Amino acid sequence: MGNSEPVWGIIGGTGLTAIDSLMVDDTLETETVWGAPSAPLRIGRLGGRKVVFLARHGDPHRIPPHRVNYRANIEALRRAGVDRIIAVNAVGSIHPAMTPSSLVLPDQIIDYTWGRAPSFHEENLEHAVHVDFTWPYSESIRDALRAAAAEVGVACHDGGVYACTQGPRLETAAEIRRLEQDGADIVGMTAMPEAVLAREAELDYACLALVVNWAAGRTSEVITMDDIRSNLDAGIGRVLQVLEACLRA
Ligand code: HPA
């Protein structure tokens, strides 16, 4: 895009298939060497910033977490000039303080996924590529999101370990106990390989997670889609407030 104005990418997860307040200037149907991204890119302005929005699960929501073409999504955003990404992810909570409908800014990931294409660097290599992933999320975007949340008075847990499971099924109670022993605070299905592909593409990337349920076995109830939906509805407005304040800053 050739100018120095930062371009923010927003990857919307479950419950965030579109952002109504995004003033869309252009809709880009695109294809990458990795295939098509989940949905057309919505290019516009939010909070005064140039934004490219992508619905991770498609628009309408139809692609399950293990079938998302994460490489095409990251490559399409990069090609559209994006240099920093905020990923919005719906998650279950393992940590007692991270109650349903609260927001979390995780700072670590444990990857339990399998069979997903985990890298841009797999074929025709002159040398193997091993990116550093000690700190999987961008500290500067996490700082910006934390400051934005404080500015609009939205509570946000700062830090946490995101356990990324394969899905699409939810976990068993024993699996959640194991994740807790591993040190996980929240559990979702979409952090990986998205975050590492952003790192490989040299894009700053952070996650704003919305808790939509207690993880399996944390209550005596089973997890229903109705409960998930009502926690999504209760929290998504605050996600948008934080996003807009972050881009305004
Ligand atoms: N487990 C995995 N992924 C999720 C959950 C969960 O409980 N809730 C939302 N995404």
| Two structure tokens written together for 232 | 């999504």
Contacts for 4 with CB less than 8 Å, ≥ 6 apart: none
Distance 244 CA to ligand 1 centre (A): 25
Ligand 1, atom 6, residue with closest C-alpha: 92
Which ligand 1 atom minimizes the distance to the CA of 216? 7
The pair phi, psi for residue 53, each rounded to 5°, is -105, 135
The best mutation among 161, 170, 192, 211 to test binding of ligand 1, ranked by most ligand atoms within 8 Å of the C-beta, falls on 170
Q: List, for residues 195-209, the tens digit of each pLDDT value.
A: 999 999 999 999 999
Quick check: helix, strand or coil at residue 208?
Answer: strand
The rounded percent of the chain whose pLDDT value lies above 90 is 91
Give Cα separations from 22 to 25, 49, 89, 148 (angstroms).
9, 10, 19, 18
pLDDT of residue 2 exceeding 80: no
Contacts for 2 with CB less than 8 Å, ≥ 6 apart: none
pLDDT bracket for residue 106 (50, 70, 90): very high
ipTM of the complex: 0.99
Q: How far is CA 184 from the centre of its chain?
A: 17
| Two structure tokens written together for 108 | 């670590």
pLDDT of residue 229 exceeding 80: yes
Residue 246 is given by DSSP the state H
- In terms of Cα–Cα distance, which of 147, 30, 27, 167 is closest to 90? 167
